[in-house]
Amino acid sequence: MEAAACGSALQFSTWIGSEKKGRRRNSFVGFNHRCRKEYSFEVINLDELQLKSVSNGRRRIHMGIPHSCKGSKAPTLESGNCCTSFDGRWFLKKKAEEVASCLDGRCIFLVGMMGSGKTTVGKVLSEALDYAFVDSDSFVEQAVGGTSVAQIFNQCGESFFRDYESEALRKLSLMPQQVVATGGGAVVRPVNWKYMKQGISVFIECTSGCLGKENCCCRN
Ligand SMILES: Nc1ncnc2c1ncn2[C@@H]1O[C@H](COP(=O)(O)OP(=O)(O)O)[C@@H](O)[C@H]1O
Ligand SMILES: O=C(O)C1=C[C@@H](OP(=O)(O)O)[C@@H](O)[C@H](O)C1
C-alpha cells in the first residue's frame, strides 16, 4: 500500500502506563530515514485534541490505512508540537475502536526504532481490537529453537537474523488479526515492506532522547 507523505501539523504524544521494562539488546541498527522517505505513511485526519505545548522530547504515531477505507471517517494521529494531558492508553483504545471497521481483519505492523514503543503500543492496540499481539523478535527466537536475538546476532550474524525476520514477517502477513511489533531494523529490507503492505503499517517516531524511557516529558 503506497501512501502520501505524512503531514507534520501537530506533534501528538501519548503516555501509557508502563507494563514492562524495555529490554535493551546489544545490537542496534538506526532507523533508516531514507526508507521512511520512500515508505512514508498516509496521515488520516484525527479529531481535535485538547493539547498543551511541550518543550522537548516527543513521540509521533503515524498510521497508514488501506485505500479501501477511502472516505471512511478513519482517525489519524497528526504530528506537531503538543502533548496530550491524559493517559494515551485510553486515546489509543478509542482510536483503535474507530478504525476497527476499516481493518477487515488486516494485520497491523508497528515499525520504529528500538525502544520507540512498538511493544507497549502494540499490546494496547491488540487489546482494543481483540487482535493477537506478536513480537516478531520472539517469533524468530521460536523459529530458531529459543536462541535469543542477541545470541543469534553474536553467533550467526545479522544477515542470518534478517533472513529469519523476513520469513517471520512473511508468515505473519498471511495471518489475520495480529498486531505485530516488528524489530527496529525490519525496515531496512525492502522485501519486508512487501509483507507489511499486506496489512497496515504504523510508524512510531520517537526522538532519540525518548527512546526506551518512560519518563519523557512527552509521556506525562
Ligand atoms: N507511550 C508510552 N508511554 C510510556 N512509556 C512508554 C511508551 N512507549 C514506550 N514506553 C516505555 O519505553 C520503553 C520501551 O518501550 P517498548 O514498547 O519496549 O519499545 P520497543 O518495543 O519499540 O522496543 C519501555 O520501558 C516502555 O514502558
Ligand atoms: O534495530 C535493530 O536492528 C534490532 C532491533 C531489535 O528489535 P527491537 O526494536 O524490538 O528492540 C531486534 O530486532 C534486533 O536486536 C535488531
Give yes or no for a contact between 112 and 42, defined as CB atoms under 8 angstroms apart. no
* Contact assessment for residue 63 and residue 200, using Cβ atoms and an 8 Å cutoff: yes
In angstroms, rounded to a whole number, what is the distance separating the alpha carbons of residues 179 and 139? 13
Which has the higher per-residue pLDDT, 69 or 104? 104
**How far apart are the C-alpha atoms of 175 and 190, rounded to whole Å?**
20
127, 19 Cβ separation under 8 angstroms: no
The binding-site residues of ligand 2, defined as CB within 6 angstroms of any ligand atom, are: 25, 27-29, 114, 137, 149, 183-185
- The one-letter amino acid code at 165 reads E
Q: How far is the CA of 215 from the centre of ligand 1 (A)?
A: 10
Lowest mean pLDDT, pick from 49-63, 77-91, 203-217:
49-63
- In angstroms, what is the span from residue 197 Cα to ligand 2's centroid? 20
| pLDDT confidence bin for 185, thresholds 50/70/90 | very high
What is the chain's mean pLDDT, rounded?
Answer: 68
For cell 544477515, the residue is 159
**8 A C-beta contact, residue 136 and residue 169:** yes
Q: CA 100, CA 67: separation in Å to the nearest integer? A: 15
pLDDT at 55: 31
Atom nearest to 15 CA in ligand 1: 3
Which ligand 1 atom minimizes the distance to the CA of 16? 3
Residues in the chain: 220
Of the listed ligands, the closest to the CA of 29 is 2
| Residue 20 alpha carbon to ligand 1 centre in Å | 8
pLDDT band at 89 (very low <50, low <70, confident <90, very high): confident
What is the dihedral angle through the alpha carbons of 97, 195, 12, 105, rounded to the nearest 10 degrees? 0
Tell me: pLDDT of 140 over 50.
Answer: yes
Q: Which of 220, 153, 178, 187 is nearest to 41 (CA)?
A: 187
Q: Is 16 helix (H, G, I), strand (E, B) or coil?
A: coil
Atom of ligand 2 nearest to the CA of 25: 15
> Sheet containing 132-135: which strands, arranged edge to edge?
59-63, 200-206, 108-111, 178-181, 132-135
- What pTM value is reported for the model? 0.71
State pLDDT tens for residues 144-169.
999 999 999 999 999 999 999 999 99
Ligand nearest to the Cα of 141, by number: 2
Q: What amino acid occupies position 173?
A: S
Residue 211: per-residue pLDDT: 62
Give CA–CA dist 78/7, Å, rounded: 7
pLDDT of residue 197: 92
The Å distance, Cα 88 to ligand 1 centre, comes to: 12
Which of the 8 DSSP states describes residue 4?
P
Ligand 1 atom nearest to CA at 14: 1
ipTM of predicted complex: 0.96
Q: What is the pLDDT of residue 95?
A: 82
Give pLDDT, residue 29: 23
Residues with CB under 6 A from ligand 1: 14-16, 18, 21-22, 59, 88, 112, 114-120, 181, 212-214, 219
What per-residue confidence (pLDDT) applies to 47?
A: 31
